[in-house]
Amino acid sequence: MKFIESIKNPQVKQWKKLLTKKEREKTKQYIVEGFHLVEEALKYKKNIVEIIISETTEIPSHWDMTNLSLTKVTTEICKAISDTETTQGIFAICQMKHSSFQTYAGNSYLLIDSVQDPGNIGTIIRTADAAGIDAIILGEGTVDIYNPKVLRSAQGSHFHIHFFTGNLEVWIEKLEKEQIPIYGTALENGVPYKQVAPKQSFALMVGNEGSGVSKKLLALTNQNLYIPIYGQAESLNVAVAAGILMYYLKE
């Protein structure tokens, strides 16, 4: 076990950089924090690069730390690499998963168009995991899924679900080739969601908190759906709407 005391240590500087999207994309690594997320990461040990723990924190006795790199650090360092106000003093550096659509065979997909709130994205990921969605495809303009706030909100679901990124027009074309029906979410040219029968295979697309799914993408769907509002609220939160539709469509 290594012990790092200086906050100026190059390794510490590198960990801090992982709080930025630029460095995460460059290294294909990200940092998770807290007992729950680290314990969840341990179920997928091959993705763990390193465990970091405060000198005042104890590793739970039931954790299997076999063949893992472990570094102990000062509380000062923990505060420096933490994205929370009160750190639990335990972190894991994880390698991003690599998924290839060419070799992937899923039945249910969630497409996300320009959703920018980390809390919403994290909740959507967690709900998609609970609903049994196979993969999430994140379009351009959507917040980075490895953003620390997204990771905390998703509560470990990053380890359970496949992710793809890129231009959603291209992804829609790929899904159509697989004969997967694509549902957009919009009032305009849409039907109440219960008019569509649940499916074993489908792709659902949700959009930006303010403007919804772009018109260009809505024009490419097989059918657009909306959730009727019976009260006085103007609209539903995107994560809530996504949850209702995912659970309904999933046969």
DSSP 140-163: TTSPPTTSHHHHHHHTTGGGTSEE
Query: Residue 80: how many CA atoms within 13 Å on its side-chain side?
Result: 20
- My answer on whether 21 and 114 are in the same domain is no
Q: Region 159-187: what's the mean pLDDT?
A: 95
CA distance 79 to 86: 8
Q: What is the pLDDT of residues 149-172, one digit of tens each?
A: 999 999 999 999 999 999 999 999
Q: pLDDT grade, residue 214 (50/70/90)?
A: very high
CATH code, 38? 3.30.1330.30
**Does the pLDDT at position 29 exceed 80?**
yes
Residues 10 and 124 reside in one and the same domain: no
**Residue 115 confidence (pLDDT):** 97
Per-residue confidence (pLDDT) for residue 82, from 0 to 100: 98
Same domain, 144 and 235: yes
pLDDT of 132 reads 97
Residues 78 and 166 in one domain: no
Shared domain check, 12 and 85: yes
Q: Are residues 88 and 105 in the same domain?
A: no
pTM of the shown model: 0.95
Task: Give the mean pLDDT of the chain.
Answer: 96
What local confidence, expressed as pLDDT, does residue 98 receive?
Answer: 75
- pLDDT for 146 equals 97
The pLDDT confidence band at residue 148, using thresholds 50, 70 and 90, is very high
Q: What percent of the chain has pLDDT above 90?
A: 94
Separation of alpha carbons 111 and 168, rounded Å: 8
pLDDT tens column, 33-79: 999 999 999 999 999 999 999 999 999 999 999 999 999 999 999 99
Residue 152 shares a structural domain with residue 244: yes
Domain that holds residue 108: 101-249
User: Of 95, 124, 154, which residue is a domain's last?
Assistant: 95
If asked whether residues 109 and 190 sit together in one domain, one would say: yes
Q: In this structure, are residues 40 and 80 in contact, taking their beta carbons and an 8 Å threshold?
A: no
Q: What is the DSSP string of 1-42?
A: -EEE--TT-HHHHHHHHTTSHHHHHHHTEEEEESHHHHHHHH
Say if residue 181 is exposed, middle or buried (CB neighbours under 10 Å; 0-12, 13-18, 19+): middle
Residue 108's pLDDT is 96
Q: How many domains does the chain have?
A: 2
* pLDDT tens-digit map of 84-117: 999 999 999 999 987 777 768 789 999 999 999 9
**Model pLDDT, residue 100:** 72
Q: Specify the pLDDT at position 101.
A: 75
How many residues are given for the chain? 251
Asked whether the CA dihedral 129, 134, 124, 232 is positive or negative, the reply is negative
pLDDT at 5 over 80: yes
- Alpha-carbon distances, residue 251 vs 23, 131, 177, 178, 202 (angstroms): 40, 10, 21, 18, 10
Domain boundary among 54, 69, 95: 95
CA-closest candidate to residue 121, choices 150, 159, 161: 150
Both 89 and 39 in a single domain?
A: yes
124 with 57, same domain: the answer is: no
**Can you give the pLDDT at residue 75?**
97
Instruction: Give the CATH number of the domain where residue 109 resides.
Output: 3.40.1280.10
Asked if residue 38 and residue 107 are part of one domain, the reply reads no
pLDDT digits (tens, 9 = 90+) for 123-137: 999 999 999 999 999
- Alpha carbon distance 4, 82 (integer Å): 16
Task: Judge if 47 and 166 occupy the same domain.
Answer: no
Q: Which of 42, 64, 95 is the last residue of a domain?
A: 95
Distance CA 246, CA 124 (A): 10
